[in-house]
A = this chain, B = another copy of it.
Amino acid sequence: MKIVNVQLQNRSYPVIINTGNFQNLGRHLHSLDLGGDAFIISNLRICKLYGTKIKKALQKSKIRSYFHNVKDTEASKSISAYIKTITKISKIDTQKRLFLVALGGGVVGDLCGFIAATYKRGVPYIQIPTTLLAQVDSAIGGKTAIDLPSGKNLIGAFFQPRLVYSNISLLNSLPQRQIRSGLAEVVKYGVIVDDRLFRYLENNWKRVAGLDKNSLTYIISAASAIKAKIVAYDERETKGLRTILNFGHTIGHALETATKYSHITHGEAISIGMVGAAEIARELGILSPNTLPRITSLLKALKLPVKASGIHLQPILNAFARDKKFIHGRIRMVLPTKIGHVIVTADIPLKVVKKVIKKLAG
């Protein structure tokens, strides 16, 4: 077991990375004293696999469990799912104090977190991320949101969980493609701030992809520690530092939008986006030699795409122009200079971006 602390004064909380059968979950919850009723938001697949185990672990600490399943798709981040879930919560919220549990991936975490932030002006919640992507990224940091027809993540809040409980055993039931999607974010952490983590992946990618427990514990702990540090310094993304987490995401988001989120996972989009950002850095002459081949080699080894073959250029450029990071008509991106170091720049010529996207799509 590893514990990483997210230091945020009176909103600090631990990220617990462990294996096993949830034996210690009840004990941790008991010491947090969040309440006697746990309203657990999950999805059917996860609930079937782990529901009973978690219910039992909570029972030991005299916590009653109420399960509420939502579909594991972006549709569950809708206003209607939000209202439906809150209405259900308000019906069981009577005697004991209540807290929420996000038992799922990014969708469940975002929905549950936003409900926790806004139900009765805020109730405690914990994250039990069940995907690698959520364990290394979305479950940590308190970014919560749901979608409106007029925009993805248009409403949300910064609202920190009281505990992130990352159990590696949960990853065993995950499809390989989902694992790879999470690994793309781990590669990202390596490129932006941690050359040691990057080298570890270069040397151990086989063990990691094979879900070796020790390797997973190492990379999830390392990723969690990086995310925790960045969030502690720049909780509400006002100081510029949290921006570096967007490395690979500008082109990545454009790809996701252009493909309407089908045929491509978040991690696959980010993988191509990281290659694109590195290509742009090389075009601008700020990338140290050998960095681009090292990034592409590692991504290829992890069976992540490095090209957006077959995707049309124009929709990507259109999506790009609509992206939030496209400020005042200038293109703002996080670019690597070497493994472990990035810069944020707002002055990239559109010409260079077009050239690189053309190359990626080619």
Which A residues lie at the B interface, using CB under 8 A?
79, 83, 86-87, 90-91, 95, 114, 117-122, 143-145, 148-151, 154-158, 236, 328
Contacts and interface: CB of A to CB of B under 8 A. Distances in A.
A150 B88 CA distance: 9
A120 B156 contact: yes
Given A79-B79, A95-B328, A87 B148 contact: yes
A120 B144 CA distance: 10
19 contacts: A79-B79, A86-B154, A86-B155, A87-B150, A90-B148, A90-B154, A91-B150, A117-B118, A117-B157, A118-B118, A118-B155, A118-B156, A118-B157, A119-B154, A120-B156, A122-B157, A122-B158, A122-B236, A157-B157
Contacts of A151: 90
A87 to B, nearest CB: 5
A95 B328 CA distance: 6
A342 to B, nearest CB: 23
B157 A83 contact: no
Given A79-B79, A95-B328, A328-B95, A148 B118 contact: no
Contacts of A145: 121
Identify the interface centre among A120, A121, A122, A144: most chain B CB within 10 Å of its CB.
Answer: A121
Contact of A148 (B83, B95, B117, B157): B83
A32 to B, nearest CB: 15
Closest 4 A-B residue pairs measured CB to CB? A121-B156, A118-B155, A87-B150, A90-B150
**Within the oligomer, what is the number of copies of this chain?**
2
Contacts of A114: 118
B90 A158 contact: no
Contacts of A143: 121
A83 B149 CA distance: 10
Interface centre among A91, A145, A154, A158 (most CB of B within 10 A): A154
A197 to B, nearest CB: 28
A181 to B, nearest CB: 24
A118 B145 CA distance: 8
B86 A120 contact: no
A33 B222 CA distance: 39
A144 B95 CA distance: 24
Contacts of A121: 143-145, 156-158, 236
Contacts of A83: 79, 148
A245 B4 CA distance: 40
Given A86-B148, A119-B154, A120-B156, 19 more contacts: A86-B150, A86-B155, A87-B150, A90-B148, A90-B150, A90-B154, A91-B150, A117-B157, A118-B156, A118-B157, A119-B155, A120-B155, A121-B143, A121-B144, A121-B145, A121-B156, A121-B157, A121-B236, A122-B158
Contacts of A328: 95
Contacts of A156: 118, 120-121
Nearest to A328: B95
A147 to B, nearest CB: 11
Contacts of A87: 148-150
A164 to B, nearest CB: 19
